[in-house]
Chains A and B, each alone.
Chain A
Amino acid sequence: MRARATLAAICVAAVAAQTQADTEVPDPSDALVQCIARGAGAACIGEGARACMDQMGLGSDGICLGAENAWWLERIATATTAMRNREPEAMARAARRGMPVATLDQVTQAFDTYRDAACGWRVAHWEGMHTGPVEMACVLRLTAQHALWLEASGQDR
């Protein structure tokens, strides 16, 4: 267990608590699903939060960014499960060639470490006011990019 909880865990917990207190948070799914269906890929990142903020108004950026982040985390979980099912075959191929390759768990751990370092560092630039949404925006961007990579990597082969 790390001495410091991961940024993602903090953000998810904060969103969950806020969501319980305020059931009116718009679901970001529609905007994101429509955007991804258009093939816009990385350009879709933030679309769900923007739609949410348009409805909720000023001061909703943190909760809306968190809601979209939760949506991408679900996609990561789904894509990871699918890739994990194929991992033994892929690792066997690597072993036959004597090729040292990171496992999916190692990729996940590397992503978590990078996200925490990148977003924690970014917050240091914003010490004082408004650090929550800045941190959440960073976490959302990296989480979504990682989700898109996982989904693309699991397809088209």
Chain B
Amino acid sequence: MSGRGSRAVTPALLALAISGAAPAQTVNFDPAVAQGCLDRGEAACIGEATEACVRATPGGASTVGYALCTRAELTWWDDRLNAAYQRMLVQARGIDAQSSSYGTPNRPSDEAALRAMQRAWIVYRDATCGYEELQWWGGTGAHGAGLACAMRLTGAQTLYLQSLVF
């Protein structure tokens, strides 16, 4: 899930993710590993798909290989986050409609709260991962550190939203 603040705070991270700053290379990313993590619903397994990808890809343990595998897992979680968010939006609208029909007084809008929460998450992700990348700035691992941060936070947010879908 992208946000308007991303470009301002993490330009290097996005450069790698969007323009393919790294040389063209195919990685062996197995979605089933990431899906297994999603099914378990445990934050501790976020990143396991990257590790599996690194092991399965020739040259995967290189800085570029690691970054590409991380980007693959980030993309996978980002797609799931978008899907979970869309489901939550539908659910929130249903809750709001139900509350309205019941005449529940002063109940805040679930949809508005969901949107506010997700906007706050995007700001948090951008600030955190921009800061993370800065800690490594000047080294070859800076891009990968920013990507890994975004992947971890995106995975955690996906698990969180997923846990609330009913």
**A-contact bits for B105-124, CB 8 A (1 contact / 0 none):** 00110100110110011011
Check if A121 sits within 8 Å of B114, measured CB to CB.
Answer: yes
Chain A: minimal CB distance from B128 (Å):
6
Residues of chain A within 8 A (CB-CB) of B135 are 90, 153-154, 157
Contact indicator B121/A118 (Cβ below 8 Å): yes
A120-B113, A145-B156 known; A40-B120 Cβ under 8 A = no
Complex alpha-carbon distance, A41 and B127, angstroms: 22
Give the residues in chain B near A104, CB-CB below 8 Å. 131
Contact present for A121 and B121 (CB under 8 Å):
no
Which residue, of B42, B110, B116, has the highest number of chain A Cβ atoms within 10 A? Answer: B116
Task: Check if A99 sits within 8 Å of B11, measured CB to CB.
Answer: yes
A110 touches B127 (CB 8 A): yes
CA distance A97 to B8 in the complex (A): 14
Within 8 A of B (CB), among A2-56: 40-43, 45
Per DSSP, chain A at the interface is helix
Say whether A102 faces chain B, with CB atoms less than 8 Å apart: yes
Q: Is the CB of A42 within 8 A of B44?
A: yes
Query: Residues of B contacting A118 with CB < 8 Å?
Result: 117, 120-121, 160
Distance A69 CA – B114 CA, assembled complex (angstroms) = 24
Distance (whole angstroms) from the CB of A154 to the closest CB of chain B: 8
Contact with A along B126-140 (1 / 0, CB 8 A): 111011111111110
Does B43 have its Cβ within 8 Å of any Cβ on chain A? yes
* Residue-wise interface mask of B (78-114) relative to A, using a CB-CB cutoff of 8 A (1 in contact, 0 not): 0000000000000000010000000000011010011
Chain B residues near A116: list those with CB within 8 A. 120
- A149 cross-chain contacts in B, Cβ below 8 A: 128, 132, 149, 152
**A70 to B120, alpha carbons, bound, how many Å?**
23
Known A-B contacts A93-B138, A117-B116, A157-B135; the reply to A124 vs B9 at CB < 8 A is no
Residues of A within 8 A of B32 (CB): none
